[in-house]
Amino acid sequence: MIQVGVDTAVACFEDQSVPIHVVPIEAEMSTVDITSQLQAFVGDPHNFGLTVEEIKAIADAKARKEKEEKAAAAAAKKEKDEKEAKELEEKVAREEERKEQIASLDESRLLRAAMPLRKYLQSSVMAVVRRGLIECAEVRPCDPIDYLAEFLLENNSSVE
């Protein structure tokens, strides 16, 4: 029997314009029969949310995917670093070889070009500089650089 009044659930539903379906329950009816009547009116039961197993499976799949992506990124970075290190090593080796070639060429050219210059310096310049340094050491002037410059200008045979 349905209660009618202001405080009942039926009145609340009627105020909200929600349709009411009355399921007659008899003493000999089992819960399965009642449930089947309700299911026939409402429809098959369904769950709108994910189960705990589904949530765990999704989280596990996401973690596995992130782990695989990190591993792939790490492998790519390692490969890139190895390639760059190899290229740098080759570049350094080529540069060292080039420097050695330049040094050997420059050294032989300098030695050949320096021989006449060395002879000139020994014969003309060093003798005057040596005498000026000896005199500067004996006199001990306040400004030895100026003294040596004056000495060289006074005793320069090519300026005359």
Whether 16 and 76 share a structural domain: no
Q: How many domains does the chain have?
A: 2
Count CB neighbours of 158 within 10 A: 7
Whether 128 and 66 share a structural domain: yes
Do residues 13 and 22 make contact, with C-beta atoms less than 8 angstroms apart?
no
Whether 77 and 111 share a structural domain: yes
Whether 37 and 112 share a structural domain: no
Whether 15 and 81 share a structural domain: no
pLDDT tens-place values along the chain, 160 residues long: 555 556 777 777 777 887 777 777 887 888 888 888 888 888 777 777 788 888 999 999 999 999 999 999 999 999 999 999 999 999 999 999 988 887 777 777 777 777 777 787 887 788 889 999 999 999 999 999 999 999 988 887 754 4
Percent helix, percent strand, percent coil in the chain, to nearest 5: 75, 0, 25
Q: Which residues constitute the domain of residue 29?
A: 9-42
Whether 70 and 119 share a structural domain: yes
Whether 31 and 107 share a structural domain: no
Whether 140 and 119 share a structural domain: yes
Whether 3 is in a domain gets the answer no
Phi-psi region of 140 (alpha: psi -120 to 50; beta: other; left: phi over 0): left
Whether 19 is in a domain gets the answer yes
Whether 2 is in a domain gets the answer no
